[in-house]
Structure 1
Amino acid sequence: METIHRLIKEGSLLKALFFLGWPIMVTSLLQSAYNLADTFWVGRLGTIQGAESIAALSLVWPVVWLMMSFAQGAGMAGVALVSQNIGAGDHARANRIAGEIFAMFLTFSVIVSIIGFIGASHMVDILSPPGPVNDRAAQYLRIIFLGQPFMFITIAFTFLLRGYGDTKTPMYVNLVSVCINIVLDPIFIFGYGLDWGGFGFIGVAYATVFSRAIAAILAAFILFKGSKGISLTLQSLKPVKEDVMKILRVAIPSSIGGSGAALGFVVISALVARVGDGMVPLAALGIGNRVTSMIFIVIIGLSMSLATIVGQNLGANNVERAERAGKLAMVLMFGILGVASLILWLVREPLIGIFTDNPEVIAEGSRFLFIFALFMPFFGVFRAVGAVYNGSGHTKYTMALSLLRLWGLRVPLIVLLVFLLAWGPVGIWWAMGISNVVAGAIAVGFFYWGKWKTPIEKPVIARVKHD
């Protein structure tokens, strides 16, 4: 790992961004494969059961996504605090902080698991009127909540190692988990290869929890063995008040930003469903988001690697290099999404046509991609600045930007353009594009404001240097 640490602090910044970023991109693709496998197999339960099962998965997805967003937001504390201590050369403190974060994740996940298991039916009833879909959704959600500790452990492991500079090991662990899930889905749902009928729809939940359990066991083994840079012991799990307060100062805003954004997308979907007959714009949005989310995988990978680079260089007191990394990433992400936008303009109709043969949805989806792509490069700038602040540990500014983009700009613009000015579906697409431009411009201002240049672990760095 010394090679990657030298690359982060001394080598080509462009190479460092992609070297750290490509495994994160692969991990995101694996997560997509995870979800597609679940949908594929439950859809084969029969015409009625299959449709109800897919609807059940779709119904509870906002709850699952909310929990994942919250955990991943909290994981930014691992990236920021571990990367800064590694950059400062204080590996002992990096391990101690990592242990405390791991313990906090485990404790919180158990609480979430208990509350979620008890309240699963109530959550589903809030999302949809009673019916057969609700029964399936509640069953699925109860089992998923029981497995929350496994998900939280794996997410903690992923972000702690990313802070250290190792993005490949989490990728391999996620690959194992996805492969197990893909193999177990048909076995647990239908009993394929075995002399029994399977669990039916609920088998998909058992497969998910089992595969996550294997990933969590592997993750815990690697962390406690200490073979990949971060080394945990039972002693390192013991909380220190000052450390806990610092971790919470980084984790809480990041979690609020992540879960608040996830909730914002749920609200936007609900608003879109009320435009016209609801079906066409909602289908256009869903397909358009699938297309753009595949492009954004590259941006997510680069932004996560940027957070590690900024954190380690701030820890090494090399603010100038961290600033160069931020500027390079802004230009790079803007350029990548600029090229992607041109491609989308050229092939937007055939792309939408891959997912549907409905002419109305194809027309509306093409219109969405045309308008959204005009402003898409600014989203790259937005993500780059957010990553800089995440790496510095000042996540309250990332939270502010994230909530502003969705709750302060996008949702009000949709209400204004669609419901007050009666623009129809096209108002949704313009609202999404304009919110990215304004948020991107504000993010640039945040970057040059420079609050991120003071790392949250500065007192520790000073002590290490003095010693």
Structure 2
Amino acid sequence: MGSSVLQSLNASINAVWIGRFLGPTALAATTNASLVMFLLFAAVFGFGMAATILIGQAFGRRDIDGARRVFGTALGLFLIFGLVITAAGWLAADRLLDLLRTPADAHGLADLYLRVILLSVPASFVTVLITMALRGAGDAMTPLIFMGLTVVLDVVLNPVLILGLGPVPALGIAGSALATVIANLVGLAALVVTIRARDLPIRLTGAAWRYLRPDPAILKLLLAKGVPMGLQMLVVSVSVLMMVFLINAQGVATIAAFGAANQLWTYIQMPAMAVGAAVSAVAAQNLGAGQWARVEQTMRAGIAINIVMTGLVVLCVVLAERPLLGLFLAYGGAALDIATHVNRIVAWSWILFGITAVMSATVRANGAVMVPLLILTVALMPVRFGFALAFGPALGADAIWWSFPVGSAVSVVLTALYYRFGGWRSGGMAGAPARPPVGAASKIPGNIPGKITG
């Protein structure tokens, strides 16, 4: 939760600098460019999660060399991904923004911002992998500390490079992107030095450097585990890009309004994401022990906690929406009025999103990943995007905003039906006992511990 808050604060404060110093056109430009970056990170997120699982398994077996082999293979893979994506992004940046229908007055700024920030991709990918590897090894504090360092540097450097304070030349929107590049490089360097100085378990030394050459067996596991998890992020990313395709047709003020509202929605989603991750872990532990009654209790507790936490955040955001949105948009402008209207339609639907996240996390803990992925795809693409297209002529831009709660409602209904009637209980990850037939005891005798295996 702390990591999510830091990342979101970083993006929000940078958006404040850009919105205040450079105006809504620049903010609209960074909104489009940032969505492209999110899509790139979504493409490798699943592989990072897969590496985390395999590294965690190795540490559970006290197999330090095995953990380093997984880390080395993943590191080599991420370095290749980062360099290829940076090169491809530079070549395709203009075309990607055209596909999003980026308005002409924001296109040049978006292209400049995207090209500069693409330089941070290799370092960012490696930082993400090291962060996940350390968490897999049981160390969550070291990544959090260095994420804090990166955020502070980015926040401080933004106004310096945008405005050209002191001897630094004014770089405008390119300065904001360059601040992110510098902060990521410094944060990564400090993290690597700390890993070496403290001789942390994932450190590659001596002969272990050969692990950077991907091991075919480990690479196969990373692909097998990572692709399904990455697809979910890609579905979310593509669906957002599809919606931005429609939003961009509404003009710069609406794009800036969406960008500002989206900053608030990022915080609203945090409790759901954190609770979902906790539910997945606790449910998986109880599945391994055969405690099916506790799995049900975990799911219900997760839903209750999500409703309370997300509901409180939504209430606070709605009550203070104009001052909060005013951080990113000038008071009295059309963009602020649009953002307020949009937020009142969409904000409450994140409560439904949280309920879906908890139920999906529960079924995924038993290895059921394809049906939740299918439900997500249906809810975000044919339902949400289809609703916005179908009702656009009648509702105008409101069709876009109402498509969010419609998609969330369909998702929570389909997920609830799958949780109640689907076959996710009888599948099971390797080592986790399947649920007995309906009517049998809810607890598997023996309490055999389970594990996720390669």
What TM-score do you get using the length of structure 2 for normalisation? 0.78
Q: How does 1:209-228 map to 2 (within 5 A)?
A: 209-221=181-193
- Determine what percentage of the aligned residue pairs are the same residue: 23
Q: How does 1:195-206 map to 2 (within 5 A)?
A: 196-206=168-178
- TM superposition shift of 1:305: 4.1
For structure 1, which runs of at least 5 residues remain unmatched after alignment? 1-24
Q: Is the 8 A contact 2:20 2:330 kept in 1?
A: no
Q: Is the 8 A contact 2:366 2:427 kept in 1?
A: yes
Cα distance in 2, alignment partners of residues 118 and 358 from structure 1? 39
Aligned to 1:188: 161
- TM superposition shift of 1:418: 3.1
- TM superposition shift of 1:82: 3.4
Bigger shift: residues 262-271 or 286-295: 286-295
- TM superposition shift of 1:174: 0.9
Cα distance in 2, alignment partners of residues 451 and 223 from structure 1? 41
Q: Are residue 118 (structure 1) and residue 91 (structure 2) matched?
A: yes
**Partner AA of 1:31 in structure 2:** Q
Cα distance in 2, alignment partners of residues 298 and 213 from structure 1? 30
- TM superposition shift of 1:69: 2.5
Aligned to 1:251: 226
Q: Is the 8 A contact 2:431 2:451 kept in 1?
A: no
Q: Is the 8 A contact 2:27 2:259 kept in 1?
A: no
1:443 aligned residue (410, 415, 435): 415
1:418 aligned residue (389, 392, 399): 392
**Partner AA of 1:182 in structure 2:** V
Aligned to 1:8: none
Bigger shift: residues 347-356 or 64-73: 347-356
2:356 aligned residue (366, 378, 382): 382
Q: Is the 8 A contact 2:100 2:245 kept in 1?
A: no
- TM superposition shift of 1:145: 2.1
Cα distance in 1, alignment partners of residues 255 and 29 from structure 2? 17
**Partner AA of 2:35 in structure 1:** P
**Partner AA of 1:431 in structure 2:** S
Cα distance in 2, alignment partners of residues 44 and 362 from structure 1? 13
Aligned to 1:170: 143
**Partner AA of 1:328 in structure 2:** A
Q: Is the 8 A contact 2:257 2:339 kept in 1?
A: yes
- TM superposition shift of 1:115: 1.5
CA 1:224–1:463: 2 relative to 1, 3 Å: farther
CA 1:206–1:159: 2 relative to 1, 3 Å: same
CA 1:62–1:219: 2 relative to 1, 3 Å: same
**Partner AA of 1:383 in structure 2:** A
- TM superposition shift of 1:180: 1.6
Question: SS of 1:192's equivalent?
Answer: coil
1:56 aligned residue (29, 53, 72): 29
Q: Is the 8 A contact 1:80 1:393 kept in 2?
A: no
- TM superposition shift of 1:103: 2.3
- TM superposition shift of 1:432: 1.5
Cα distance in 1, alignment partners of residues 361 and 309 from structure 2? 17
Q: Deviations over 1:308-361 (max 9, x none)?
A: 5556666xx335388354443233223323444555666667766775655977
Q: Is the 8 A contact 1:345 1:369 kept in 2?
A: yes
CA 1:357–1:118: 2 relative to 1, 3 Å: closer
Q: Deviations over 1:39-76 (max 9, x none)?
A: 4445576xxx6665444323322211211222334322
Q: How does 1:255-270 map to 2 (within 5 A)?
A: 255-270=230-245
What TM-score do you get using the length of structure 1 for normalisation? 0.76
Q: Are residue 33 (structure 1) and residue 17 (structure 2) matched?
A: no
Structure with greater contact order relative to length (CA < 8 Å, sep ≥ 6): 1
- TM superposition shift of 1:105: 1.5
Aligned to 1:15: none
Aligned to 1:454: 428
Cα distance in 2, alignment partners of residues 347 and 44 from structure 1? 19
Question: SS of 2:308's equivalent?
Answer: helix
- TM superposition shift of 1:206: 2.4
**Partner AA of 2:242 in structure 1:** V
Question: SS of 2:395's equivalent?
Answer: coil
Cα distance in 1, alignment partners of residues 390 and 130 from structure 2? 43
Cα distance in 2, alignment partners of residues 119 and 305 from structure 1? 39
Cα distance in 1, alignment partners of residues 262 and 103 from structure 2? 29
CA 1:329–1:226: 2 relative to 1, 3 Å: farther
2:289 aligned residue (294, 305, 318): 318
- TM superposition shift of 1:397: 4.4
2:41 aligned residue (68, 74, 77): 68
Q: Give RMSD over aligned pairs.
A: 3.9
Cα distance in 1, alignment partners of residues 385 and 100 from structure 2? 19
Q: Is the 8 A contact 1:117 1:146 kept in 2?
A: no
Question: SS of 1:147's equivalent?
Answer: helix
**Partner AA of 1:34 in structure 2:** N
Bigger shift: residues 252-261 or 160-169: 160-169
Q: Are residue 144 (structure 1) and residue 117 (structure 2) matched?
A: yes
**Partner AA of 2:381 in structure 1:** W
Q: Is the 8 A contact 1:225 1:231 kept in 2?
A: no
- TM superposition shift of 1:407: 0.9
- TM superposition shift of 1:110: 1.6
Question: SS of 2:169's equivalent?
Answer: coil
Q: Deviations over 1:68-96 (max 9, x none)?
A: 22233432213433345555665554443
* Structure with a larger share of its residues in helix: 1
Cα distance in 1, alignment partners of residues 251 and 105 from structure 2? 22
**Partner AA of 1:29 in structure 2:** V
For structure 2, which runs of at least 5 residues remain unmatched after alignment? 433-447
Provide the aligned length of Structure 1 versus Structure 2: 429
Cα distance in 2, alignment partners of residues 145 and 393 from structure 1? 35
- TM superposition shift of 1:247: 1.1
